[in-house]
Structure 1
Amino acid sequence: MFTHVFPLHKIFHLWDTLLLGNSSFPFCIGVAILQQLRDRLLANGFNECILLFSDLPEIDIERCVRESINLFCWTPKSATYRQHAQPPKQSSDNNGVRNSTPYFSVDSQDTPKTDLSRESIQLNDLKSEVSPRISAEDLIDLCELTGTGHFKTPTKKTKSSKPKLLVVDIRNTEDFNRGHISGSISIPFNSAFTTEGELSQGPSTTMLQNFKGKVIVIVGNVAKHTTEFAAHLVKIRYPRVCILDGGINKIKPTGLLTVPSPQI
């Protein structure tokens, strides 16, 4: 795909890098190219952008490789979910012999699907969302949650001084207090933003602002609210915003929600 727009000496760099990732890595390279062309693309209309791609300007390939690797490492694996990237189901021929089409990808989608995996959504819904969805499996792994669930307990990792992500629970305070993801903060949807579109001031919104640049995961129980909240964060220049696929209901059956102790 990239040999149509890059000279061979630049393609060599991309080939070496492509071998490090799975089949979602070309997408990261494409985004890295767009990041370099961002200002020019935003300043032009659609027709001008098409002409720009037909005669691609000079691209710093070293920067492209560096930024694509960074994007690949920052992006939760389920955020690149593609319905048709699933391994084919095995079938039996007339003699009862099981067979399947060879499948050589090493994508995270190769793992068996569970109740905590990403669900497929309609194309219209996908187009209406500006932030990707991540699976409950990814969230549990990245938050290093453990408990008596029906899933495989993730391998414990060495925690860094700063968490990789921040979970923002946008349900009302009563629902949050009945049970929430450990380490999450409560910013109710109805009072999160001022009439001017800015974040309302408070301890939780201050913490959210401190995490700007990290991965932010929006969790709620109303799909429309989570997509609107995520879109608003993107609008005020939060760069890494995700939505928990299936909302808080995906986490409830795992027994991993934290319930605060009653005040005595």
Structure 2
Amino acid sequence: MLCIPDVFPLHKIFHLWDTLLLGNHSFPLCVGVAILQQLRARLLASAFNDCILLFSDLPEVDIERCVRDSTSLFCCTPRSATFRQHACPPRSPQNSVRNVHPCCNTSCTTIPQGRDTVPINELKMEICPRIAAEELLELCEPARSRSEPSQGRRIRGARPRALVLDVRSADDRFSRGHFSGSINIPAGTALTPGGALCPAASNSLAHQRGRVIVLVGNASRTAFAAHLQQLHYPKVCILDGGISKIKEAGLLTVPSPQI
């Protein structure tokens, strides 16, 4: 992670500092990503050693754009996706607090949503973030007005901010119980031999690029999520703990038996 005071001159830090203090522990990460986005073309055209030298003598960065892009990233990223085990004290009903980020009127939880502790070796194998079941439920509610985030009214005709993609076999597991409103795209049949989405899967996801796509199901959800990222679906994550998390909460819809 970039050390902001070391790479920016003082007059640029003044533009960034107030915004930086408004976010939680994940906001500096968003600032770093915003800087990388500005330098993307140059970094991709450089060798590793040249990239290291680039950050030791950082080229001109549009600080206003950095503030704007980092705020946008922070506000559209699920809070639990940036969970760090030791970033906040243990959560309890007494210390679970919500603040409103003034730049985008988005309610942000200062105490991270419930997440399982995952071994670091397992996390290194994943390229998609994990999202907590609690936050999945919030994202599946229809969008509310941002003018009053704490008690805003639901926007008429608004769709949920997340799409739940169940990658289990339709015959084996999906029909036995699934998350209400989820789409079933079995991972085993969703991809063509060339690595593209099959027509049925492509049609299901054709108009979903603006939403957070959350994959649930068995262990294959991680590999399938990686494929979606390679196919340029930008907002892809997996449900932390898998289908068992929503099963424990009694949130699975079980279809009526065929008579």
On whether the aligned pair clears a TM of 0.5, the verdict is yes
CA offsets per residue over residues 93-139 of structure 1, 9 Å max, x none? xxxxxxxxxxxx9884636x8xxx21111111111111100111111
Aligned amino acid, residue 8 of structure 1: L
Q: Which runs of 5+ in 1 are unaligned?
A: 90-104, 146-153
- How do 1:61-76 residues align onto structure 2 when only pairs under 5 Å count? 61-76=63-78
TM-score where L is the length of structure 1: 0.81
Aligned amino acid, residue 185 of structure 1: I
- The more displaced of 168-177 and 213-222 is 213-222
CA offsets per residue over residues 197-224 of structure 1, 9 Å max, x none? 100111x5313131124211111122xx
Q: Which has the higher contact order (CA 8 A, sep 6+)?
A: 1
CA distance, structure 2, for counterparts of residue 39 and residue 260 of structure 1:
50
- The more displaced of 160-169 and 228-237 is 160-169
1:127 aligned to which of 124, 129, 135: 124
Aligned residue for 2:235?
Answer: 240
**Shift in alpha-carbon separation, 1:232–1:121, aligned structure 2, 3 A:** same
Determine if contact 1:81/1:109 at 8 Å carries over to the other structure. no
TM-score where L is the length of structure 2: 0.83
CA distance, structure 2, for counterparts of residue 240 and residue 214 of structure 1:
7
CA distance, structure 2, for counterparts of residue 21 and residue 109 of structure 1:
9
Aligned amino acid, residue 158 of structure 2: S
Deviation (angstroms), 1:44: 1.8
Aligned amino acid, residue 86 of structure 1: C
CA distance, structure 2, for counterparts of residue 109 and residue 19 of structure 1:
12
CA distance, structure 1, for counterparts of residue 181 and residue 15 of structure 2:
40
2:245 aligned to which of 250, 256, 263: 250
Aligned residue for 2:46?
Answer: 44
CA distance, structure 2, for counterparts of residue 156 and residue 221 of structure 1:
36
- How do 1:137-156 residues align onto structure 2 when only pairs under 5 Å count? 137-144=134-141
- How do 1:93-132 residues align onto structure 2 when only pairs under 5 Å count? 108=109, 110=111, 117-132=114-129
1:158 aligned to which of 114, 136, 154: 154
Determine if contact 1:131/1:243 at 8 Å carries over to the other structure. yes
Q: What SS is found at the alignment partner of 1:199?
A: coil
| Residues matched between the structures, number | 235
CA offsets per residue over residues 227-262 of structure 1, 9 Å max, x none? 111111111111111110000011002121122344
**Shift in alpha-carbon separation, 1:10–1:49, aligned structure 2, 3 A:** same
Instruction: State the identity as a percent.
Output: 59
Q: Which runs of 5+ in 2 are unaligned?
A: 92-97, 100-107, 143-149
Aligned residue for 2:186?
Answer: 188
Q: What SS is found at the alignment partner of 1:166?
A: strand
Determine if contact 2:136/2:162 at 8 Å carries over to the other structure. no
Deviation (angstroms), 1:166: 0.9
CA distance, structure 2, for counterparts of residue 205 and residue 157 of structure 1:
33
- The more displaced of 205-214 and 74-83 is 205-214
Aligned residue for 2:145?
Answer: none
Determine if contact 1:78/1:108 at 8 Å carries over to the other structure. no
- The more displaced of 118-127 and 155-164 is 155-164
CA offsets per residue over residues 1-37 of structure 1, 9 Å max, x none? 3121112221112112113211211111111111111
CA distance, structure 2, for counterparts of residue 180 and residue 155 of structure 1:
30
Q: What SS is found at the alignment partner of 1:14?
A: helix
Aligned residue for 1:93?
Answer: none
Determine if contact 1:134/1:244 at 8 Å carries over to the other structure. yes
Which structure has the bigger radius of gyration?
A: 1
In the alignment, does 2:18 pair up with 1:16? yes
